[in-house]
Structure 1
Amino acid sequence: MDVINPATGERVDSYDEHTQSEVETALEDATSAFEEWRRRPLREREDLLAAAGDVLRENKGEYAETMTEEMGKPIEQAVSEVEKCAWACDHYAEHASSYLEADHHPSPPGTTAKTVYEPLGPVLAVMPWNFPFWQVFRFAAPYLTAGNVGFLKHASNVPGCALAIEEVFREAGYPEGVFRSLLISSDEIEDLLGDERVRAATLTGSGGAGRAIASTAGENLKKTVLELGGSDPYVVLDDADLEAAATTGAWARNQNGGQSCIAAKRFVVVDEVYDEFVDRFVDAVDSLAVGDPMDEETDMGPQARQDLLDELHEQVEASVEAGATVETGGEPLDREGAYYPPTVLTDVPEGSPADTEELFGPVAAVYRVGGESEAIEKANDTEFGLGASLWTTDLDRAERLATEVEAGCVYVNELVKSDPRVPFGGIKESGYGRELSADGIKEFTNRKTVWLTDEPDTDVPVE
């Protein structure tokens, strides 16, 4: 696996893929480790997770530089990502016990009926390059603490991040085999998921990858959680704080180079404030500093790979040919590296790529709509359903409209984000299942009913 720095186009490192023999050893080690790990007191697993958070903080500069070098994330955003991973570790170290506490149910006198949450076993995580640490810890922090063990199949352009994450758990004191990064190709995922020792899988990625995982898992009757693409609407109503909406919107679209499933991608603005919003929005977008991702003043670095930039530009060109107007940006930057500028498209035609496809880069599509009902209709006019952002100063109005938006989460007067305190996930083509919070830690557990009684009632029919 060759690592190409997207800011320079130069190869900076190379890693050997794991052999079939090494993968087999990892499976055997994980199976053995699970039998001990699942019986480790939860308090001890929480303590180890807290230690992992400490390791992350102690080495955040090193891990951030690895991220930036491998996929181009601006260094300050990379440091923030490591800190967010440490926060997730802190959260589950503090709350896992309460999240996994048994639920008690009504039952006859003299009996106790409850649901307990037990781990499933080895879980395969197939993770993307765009948030190479956060996506993994979003999976690992809850699932390992619940008593599962994990395999990471990371994106092939971030092998250094994959191995660094394995190092975090090793340095924190986790037993051998509880977490392993496997440097393997995507072609090997099907066989790995088909192995009886792997009990479940989670994927963050494209719709095609999600369908492939779901199909193989379904054939083998294995639980999956999928977080797929998004084309999140950013709805600006007539009473919105336009300066805040424009400034936050510029960041919501362009942070991480616009390479985020939950980035604001379709800006739906009511006619009454459309012109003023577009002016403010374009100004805010133009103020973002594009440059060397190792420079702390940089807001946006390169795209993660040249082929991703090329695909994005093809979508922009096709949308412009169909009738979209470029307000700013729209052409790759004439400089070394995979740089694409923050871009704003208006007059986006129905059916064009900017209208119907996920643009995984710094390109915003802005729509003019007549009013509130048309705004919600346009917001829902997508195959995706990951997140949505609503902008209005009337919170009663916002709460009413939030129920009409087809998405896994709705944020009012904020950008969409994932937060360990609340469940995260999508609907429709954006996937299924939930990560984070109490829902997330329970996804890969056996919800086992336990019924206790002192004196069996032999007269009750059994069915």
Structure 2
Amino acid sequence: MMLTKRVAVRVPRRVRWAGSMVTVDNPYTGETVAEVDEVDEPRMLAQIDDATSAHDAWATTRVSDRLQLLSRFVESFEARSDAFARQVSMQMGKPLSQAQGEMKTTVARAKTMMAFAEDALADYHLDDRDGIQRKIAREPIGPVLLLCPWNYPMLCAINSLVPAIAAGNSVLVKMSDRTPLCADAFAECFDAAGAPSGLVQAFHASHDRVAQAISHPAISFVNFTGSVEGGRAVYGTVAKRFIDVGLELGGKDAAYVCEDADLEQAVAGVVDGAFYNAGQSCCGVERVYVHESVYSEFIDRAKALTEEYVLGDPLNSLTTMGPVAQKRQPDFLRDQVEQARSLGAQIVIGGQPCTDASGKGRFFQPTLAVDCTHEMSLMVEESFGPVVGVMSVASDEQAVDFMNDSPYGLTASIWTTDNARANELAPKLDVGTVFQNRCDYLDPELPWSGRKASGKGVSLSHLAFNSFTRTKSYNLRRAK
């Protein structure tokens, strides 16, 4: 089923430009579900001009007026959420129930970020000194380019879209070529909400055209969510202009199951954290360190839970794991598993590309590899699929050393019933977020950041608004 044949970007002047085209296949059926025009240079320049004009007007509006628009946008998005969920499932393969969950979380996330706006953007007044009035103001940074991923396309975009608009900026939304229709969904909802022309635009562009847009003097901030390689490319282009950038990149997130952990809770949490969305999450669990005293029991319980996954049509309510989104991923995952096997790992379940019972889909079996070491790729290199490696450790110190032995630093989870132990271990972990007895979760009231190769900058919480504003200091000696 074709979701849409030729998708026109919502350019305010309603001009169609000739350009190349992106074709999106359904990871389950293999059928083409969308064909989307990419911008050529004139079209790109027109969109940036429109974004600049929209920004100049929007920057002068009151925060309260911006929030009213965002409220109407949320209403519009929520009314269309069932259709958007189906679009996401057909473009990247996640089960419809999980896509529907993403839509609900997107709405809730938007409302949470909106609630921060008034305080986060308010002037900060200092006490007068020597008759001089002093304050710190935050002003809109300028047109923003959002480069959004395919794994949680709506949710990742909303993390930046709401604070950017609330702060007084215009936004160009560039989605991954895997989920391009999501950019049009945002433009459609803002259009329905009565947004000024050019304020939020879908921007369908090749990598070269994106680099050209970043180099344009009007673009004032870029936020990229994606691979480390993509982040390096974006960062290199941004650096030439001395503008700021937010990078939300990969992870190799670790879990440590202590000997005193509630094993039922720990196994359920870790298995879900490893295999939800077919393991295609930057903060999904990809490696597990289990205290030697509970190692065997953990493996037995984890294997039993893994066996319960149902691979199938993402639109079928019985499906609990969909196909992997990218065509290259099954072979990459198989290579990781086979290399681990050759180095001594035991594959207790899974380990192969497959189809479902009807012969459809580019699936990879949910895979549990045990007796792993850090010589194995699947313990050090991001898998981004339903594969998790498990190691036995003898102590907290050994677990912490292994958890920190990574080029990534996004999240880590500690599974223990001893709160003091968790409090002692958490500061030793070189990551942006530490969990106790949970994992693979974003709390929008807390900042989200990565260390090392996992990223640069902060999203979520009241701190997210800092990225989309510039400070101005007022030092005013008033005339008498």
Q: How does 1:249-260 map to 2 (within 5 A)?
A: 249-260=270-281
**Amino acid across the alignment from 1:90:** K
Alignment of 1:35-46 (within 5 A): 35-46=56-67
Which of the numbers 371, 380, 383 marks the counterpart of 1:359? 383
Inter-partner Cα distance in structure 2 for 1:197 and 1:19: 18
After TM superposition, give the deviation of residue 217 of structure 1 in Å. Answer: 0.9
Q: Is the 8 A contact 2:221 2:245 kept in 1?
A: yes
Aligned-partner SS, 1:443: helix
Q: For 1:207 and 1:450, how far apart are their aligned partners in 2? A: 39
Q: CA deviation at 1:210?
A: 0.8
Question: 2: CA distance between counterparts of 1:379 and 1:390?
Answer: 11
Please give the alpha-carbon distance, in whole angstroms, between the structure 2 residues aligned to 1:104 and 1:338.
Answer: 57
Q: Kindly indicate whether residue 405 of structure 2 is the aligned counterpart of residue 418 of structure 1.
A: no
Alignment of 1:110-259 (within 5 A): 110-259=131-280
| Corresponding residue for residue 13 of structure 2 | none
Task: Give the whole-Å Cα distance in 2 for the aligned partners of 1:275 and 1:51.
Answer: 53
The question of whether the paired residues in 2 share the 8 Å contact of 1:325 and 1:347 is answered with yes
Preserved CA contact (<8 Å) 1:420 1:437: yes
1:393 aligns with 2:414: no
Amino acid at match of 2:372: V
The aligned length equals 456
* Higher deviation after alignment, 194-203 or 89-98: 89-98
CA distance in 1, matches of 2:133, 2:410: 39
Give matches, 1:368-379, under 5 Å. 368-379=392-403
CA shift for structure 1 position 95: 2.4
TM normalised by structure 1 equals 0.96
User: How do residues 95-110 of structure 1 correspond to structure 2 at under 5 angstroms?
Assistant: 95-105=116-126, 107-110=128-131
Partner of 1:278: 299
- Which residue of 1 is the match for residue 14 of structure 2? none
Q: In the aligned structure 1, how far is the partner of 2:31 from the partner of 2:337?
A: 27
Deviations 1:129-187 (A, max 9, x none): 11111111111011111111111221112122221121121112211111111111112
1:239-388 correspondence runs (5 A): 239-334=260-355, 335-388=359-412
The answer to whether the 8 Å contact 2:351/2:365 transfers is: yes
Residue 92 in 1 paired to residue 113 in 2? yes
CA shift for structure 1 position 346: 0.8
Equivalent pair of 1:92/1:145 in contact (CA under 8 Å) = no
SS of corresponding position for 1:403: helix
Greater mean alpha carbon deviation, residues 96-105 or residues 255-264: 96-105
State the match for 1:460 in structure 2.
Answer: none
The alpha carbon displacement at 1:452 in A equals 2.5
Q: 1:39, 1:230 → 2: CA distance?
A: 39
Q: Give the equivalent residue in structure 1 for 2:462.
A: 438
Between the aligned partners of 1:107 and 1:390, the Cα distance in structure 2 is 48
Conserved 8 A contact 1:223-1:444: no
Q: 1:17-58 CA deviation, whole Å, 9 max, x = no partner?
A: 222222111111011000110111100111111112111211
Aligned-partner Cα distance in 2 for 1:91–1:50? 11
Check the 8 A contact 2:114/2:163 in 1, yes or no: no
**TM-score, normalised by the number of residues in structure 2:** 0.92
1:33 matches 2:54: yes
Is residue 113–residue 462 contact of structure 2 (8 Å, CA) maintained in 1?
no
SS in 2 for 1:225: strand
Aligned-pair identity in percent equals 34
**Secondary structure of residue in 2 paired with 1:184:** coil
Contact between 1:204 and 1:228, CA under 8 Å: does it hold in 2? yes
Equivalents in 1 of 2:290, 2:71: separation in Å? 44
Q: Is the contact between residue 312 and residue 361 of structure 2 (CA under 8 Å) also seen in structure 1?
A: no
Q: Provide the rounded CA distance (Å) in 2 between the counterparts of 1:113 and 1:368.
A: 58
CA distance in 2, matches of 1:425, 1:297: 35
Distance between the aligned counterparts of 2:26 and 2:102, measured in 1? 19
Match of 2:82 in 1: 61
Following superposition, the deviation at residue 444 of structure 1 comes to 2.1
Letter in 1 for 2:33: V
Counterpart CA distance in 1 for 2:81 and 2:281 is 21
- Indicate if the aligned counterparts of 1:73 and 1:257 stay in contact, CA closer than 8 A: yes
Range with bigger deviation, 182-191 or 70-79: 182-191
Q: Distance in 2 between matches of 1:114 and 1:191?
A: 37
Amino acid at match of 2:95: P
Q: Which runs of 5+ in 2 are unaligned?
A: 1-21
Q: Which runs of 5+ in 1 are unaligned?
A: 457-463
Query: Per-residue deviation at 1:109?
Result: 4.3
